[in-house]
Amino acid sequence: MNSVKRKLLIYIVTFNHEKFILDVINRIPKNLVDKYDVEILINDDSSSDSTFKLTYQFIDNLKSNFKFKIFSNPKNQGYGGNQKIGYHYAIKNNFDYVALLHGDGQYAPEYLPKLVEPLDNHNADAVFGSRMLTKGAALKGGMPLYKFIGNKILTFFQNLLLASKLSEFHSGYRVYSVNALSKIPFELNANDYSFDTEIIIQLIISNLKIKEVPIPTYYGEEISYVNGIKYAYQICVATLKSQLQKKGIFYDRKFDIGEKDQKIYVNKENFYSTHSEVLKIINENSKVLDLGCNDGYIGSLLKAQKNCFVVGVDKIEENKILKLDKFINHDLNDGPPEIDYKDFDYVLILDVIEHLVNPENFINKLKKCLLDNENLKIIISTPNIAFFVIRFMLLLGKFNYGKRGILDKTHTRLFTFSTLKDLVNQGGFSIISKKGIPAPYPLAIGENLISKLLINVNLFLIKISKTIFSYQIIYTITPNISLDSLINKANQESLKKIKEI
C-alpha cells in the first residue's frame, strides 16, 4: 500500500516577466509528481506587460500532470507582499511544503527536488538555495562583483548579530515547511525585498532549522527592481532592531516570537546594578522584608552572603521561590501585607513600583504599616524613563513597549528621579540617598572588557547628569514621623518644660 504523498506548492512570483515565465514553467522537473502531490500557483503582481495573458494561455493548453492555478493581483503588492499571499494560501490549503520560485529564471527550477529533500527527511524547517556555498561559483555564474562583495559584507554582519552561520542571507530560492511558516508572523513583515531577511530572522528567533543547498548562479536579461542601497539599509535596520529588542531597547511585534519564558530575576550581582548596590547597602545579620521578591533571588543572596533573615512577598507559586526564611503569597496591588513590620531593618521594593496599578495608594498604605519606625530603611528602585536612549527614541518618534527593559509592557507607571521623589515625599518618606544605575551592558553583550568599559563610561556620565544617563533609579528612604507622633512629642516636651519653670 502506497503512503499518502506530501503536498508541495510551487509558488511562482512574477512581475513583468513575459520573456522568462514560460521557460521557468517548462523547466520544473516533471518527476516531482512521482513523489509529491504538486500544485503550481503563479501570482502575477499586476504586471504592465503580457505576463498574465501569456502564462494563462500557456497553462490552459499545457498537457501536464501538474495542477495549475493562476492569480493576478489587481494592485501591486510588492515582492514581500506577493510572498505573503502564497504562504497564506499554502497554510489555508494544508500543504506540507511551499517552494518559492522567481518568474525571471534567475533560480534554476531543476534544483527543486534537491531543495525539497531535506524537508522530506525532517532535517530542516526551511531550505535555502545558496550561491555562496561553492567557492567562486557566484562570480563564475555572472554575479556582478559589487553584488558579490555587498552580499558577503551584509551576510557577515547579519551572522555576527544573529549568531548564525548562513553562507548568504540574500538568496530568493527557498522551500519552507508550511508547519514552520504557521509558527511565525510573516504577515507582519515588510512588503518589499527586506521581507526575505525578516523571515530568516523570525526562523532563527523561533529556533527553526535552516539548511542550505548549493545552487548555480545565473544572471541574464532579467530586470532587477532592487534599490541596493535602500535594501542594505533596511536589512541592517531589521537585523539590528531584532537584537536590540532582546535587550529591551526597541520593540517590533514581528520579532516577538519564539522566546521561552525567561528566569523571573536575572543575576546582576557581578556588575554595578541594583543587586550589587543592595548587597553593599544592607548590613550583615539584618532582617529584610522583600516586597515583590519574584523568585527570591536577591533574598537568597542576602542569606548566603550577609547571613540575613529574609521574608519574601509576592503573588507567585511557592514552589518557584528560592529558599527564604519565610514566604507570603500576596498581591501587592492590594497594598502591603498585614504583618508586624517593627522587627525589620530593611524593606526592599526593587523594580516593583512601576508594575503596580496605584503606586500612590501602595506607598500611603506602606507608610501606615510602618508607623514611626525611624530606624527602618526602605530601598526602592525603578527604571528611569528619562534615560538618554528613551529620549533619543522619542526624538525618532518611537515609544514602543516590549518584553523587558525600561518600556516593559507590564509596566503601568513610568518614573524619573523627580517623579519618584515626589511619590515618596508625598507618601510620607524622606530620601536618605539617591543613586543612578548604569545600563546592564553585561546582560546585553556578556561580562567582558567592553561591557566593563561601557559601565565605567556610563558611571562617569551619571556623575555629569543622573537624570539623563541613569538607566535605573535607586533611593534609600525612611518613614517620616507621623503628625500624631509629632503632636505627642510636642506635648511631652511642653509638659517637660513647664515642670522646669
pLDDT in tens, 250-280: 778 888 886 554 444 455 667 788 999 999 9
Query: Residue 108 pLDDT more than 80?
Result: yes
Q: Are residues 249 and 290 in the same domain?
A: no
**Residue 490 maps to a domain:** no
| Lowest mean pLDDT, pick from 64-73, 351-360, 441-450, 460-469 | 441-450
Q: Are residues 21 and 170 in the same domain?
A: yes
Question: Which domain does 81 fall in, by range?
Answer: 6-255
**Residue 418: which pLDDT band, with cuts at 50, 70 and 90?**
very high
User: Residue 26 sits in a domain of what CATH number?
Assistant: 3.90.550.10
pLDDT given for residue 261 in this prediction: 45
Query: Residue 222 pLDDT more than 60?
Result: no
Q: Are residues 135 and 169 in the same domain?
A: yes
| CB-based contact 341:370 (threshold 8 Å) | yes
Q: Quick one: DSSP state of residue 251?
A: -
Query: Residue 408 pLDDT more than 80?
Result: yes
Q: Are residues 421 and 465 in the same domain?
A: yes
Q: What is the pLDDT of residues 305-317, one digit of tens each?
A: 999 999 999 998 7
Which is it for strands 210-214 and 174-177: parallel, antiparallel or unpaired? unpaired
pLDDT given for residue 263 in this prediction: 44
pLDDT given for residue 113 in this prediction: 95
183-212 mean pLDDT = 94
19-44 mean pLDDT = 94
pLDDT given for residue 264 in this prediction: 42
pLDDT given for residue 372 in this prediction: 67
Query: Residue 402 pLDDT more than 80?
Result: no
**Residue 495 maps to a domain:** no
Structural domain ending residue among the three candidates 228, 255, 282: 255
**Residue 426: which pLDDT band, with cuts at 50, 70 and 90?**
very high
Query: Residue 318 pLDDT more than 60?
Result: yes
32-45 mean pLDDT = 94
Q: Are residues 387 and 308 in the same domain?
A: yes
Task: Identify the residue with better confidence: 57 or 249.
Answer: 57
Nearest Cα neighbor of 113 from 3, 215, 42 is 215
| Helix intervals (H) in 62-129 | 78-92, 112-120
pLDDT given for residue 90 in this prediction: 96
**Residue 368 maps to a domain:** yes
Q: Are residues 33 and 120 in the same domain?
A: yes
Structural domain ending residue among the three candidates 255, 288, 307: 255
Q: What is the dihedral of CA 204, 210, 214, 215, to 10 degrees?
A: -80
Task: Identify the residue with better confidence: 245 or 286.
Answer: 286
DSSP track, 303-366:
HHHH--EEEEEESS-GGGS---SEEEE--GGG-S-SS--TT-SEEEEET-GGG-S-HHHHHHHH
Q: Are residues 285 and 349 in the same domain?
A: yes
d(CA 71, CA 280): 68
| Lowest mean pLDDT, pick from 107-116, 297-306, 390-399 | 390-399
**Residue 262 maps to a domain:** no
Q: Are residues 251 and 383 in the same domain?
A: no
Structural domain ending residue among the three candidates 255, 287, 313: 255
**Residue 269 maps to a domain:** no
Q: Are residues 49 and 193 in the same domain?
A: yes
96-113 mean pLDDT = 94
C-alpha cell of residue 485: 507622633
96-123 mean pLDDT = 93
C-alpha cell of residue 372: 514611626
Percentage of the chain modeled with pLDDT above 90: 60
404-427 mean pLDDT = 91
Query: Residue 2 pLDDT more than 70?
Result: no
370-388 mean pLDDT = 89
C-alpha cell of residue 295: 523568585
**Residue 315 maps to a domain:** yes
Q: Are residues 239 and 303 in the same domain?
A: no
Q: Are residues 221 and 284 in the same domain?
A: no
User: Residue 428 sits in a domain of what CATH number?
Assistant: 3.40.50.150
**Structural domain tally of the chain?**
2
Give me the residue label for grid cell 512521482: 34
**Residue 210 maps to a domain:** yes
Query: Residue 73 pLDDT more than 70?
Result: yes
d(CA 456, CA 447): 13
Average pLDDT, the chain: 88
**Residue 393 maps to a domain:** yes
Q: Are residues 127 and 204 in the same domain?
A: yes
pLDDT given for residue 301 in this prediction: 93
